[in-house]
Chain A
Amino acid sequence: KQEVTQIPAALSVPEGENLVLNCSFTDSAIYNLQWFRQDPGKGLTSLLLIQSSQREQTSGRLNASLDKSSGRSTLYIAASQPGDSATYLCAVRAIQGAQKLVFGQGTRLTINP
């Protein structure tokens, strides 16, 4: 059974720092991995999707990497801003299980001005 873990559960850093969020998964048989952002009381906003054949994806100040063989992904945020404060979730789409996504519990990020 696929399990997704995100560590740490919460992170607080000063504005301007570069930071890395971690995601690990137990079964490397995946189609893709997706990173989401969730603001309090809101839905999920898709940030990046990395296909299983890719090593990384970039969007603006965000860079996501994927090491499928070791079951790890990182989300790198450059020059963090208070507006980046949110919960970040990673999810994998396993090859088994049709279109289902398996989510981690998320990392709650706070950027202090």
Chain B
Amino acid sequence: DVKVTQSSRYLVKRTGEKVFLECVQDMDHENMFWYRQDPGLGLRLIYFSYDVKMKEKGDIPEGYSVSREKKERFSLILESASTNQTSMYLCASTSFQGSNQPQHFGDGTRLSIL
């Protein structure tokens, strides 16, 4: 079974802090994704990565950056956290092979910015 692990289930940070959310997958997947989930807005894609050191903006990249130095690890960075970034953050991965591979998700990180 695919295992996508997010480093923290709950995180509380202060406005202006630099925040790192980490995600690791164990299936040698090429593609990794960061989403945020908010009530009434559903899941929205922040950034994704096709391979090491490659990244693409999703629908809501403002205020975020990402890092993919190793294939198994994809980090989401909040450069200067703000209260409107309080949300549930979900990481996902999928194989590049073919177009019909399911996305597998981690358990999520619930981030509160005070």
Chain A residues close to B by CB (< 8 Å): 31-32, 34, 36, 41-46, 49, 51, 89, 91, 93, 98-101, 103-106
Choose one: A51, A100, A103, A105; the contact of B48 (CB below 8 Å).
Answer: A100
| Sampled A-B contacts (9; CB under 8 Å) | A44-B92, A46-B105, A49-B102, A99-B33, A99-B48, A99-B94, A100-B45, A100-B58, A101-B103
Interface mask (B3-20 → A, CB under 8 Å = 1, otherwise 0): 010100000000000000
Q: Are B42 and A51 in contact (CB under 8 A)?
A: no
Provide the residues of chain B in CB contact with A101, threshold 8 Å: 43, 45, 103
Choose one: B42, B45, B56, B107; the contact of A43 (CB below 8 Å).
Answer: B107
Q: Are A46 and B103 in contact (CB under 8 A)?
A: yes
B32 nearest in chain A by CB position: A99
- A87 to chain B minimum Cβ distance, whole angstroms, is 10
A52 nearest in chain B by CB position: B100
Interface mask (B32-49 → A, CB under 8 Å = 1, otherwise 0): 010000001011010010
Q: Are B107 and A42 in contact (CB under 8 A)?
A: yes
Provide the residues of chain B in CB contact with A34, threshold 8 Å: 102-103
A103 with B42, Cβ < 8 A, contacts A31-B99, A41-B110 known = yes
Q: How far is the CA of A93 from the CA of B105 in the complex (A)?
A: 15
Provide the residues of chain A in CB contact with B43, threshold 8 Å: 89, 91, 101, 103
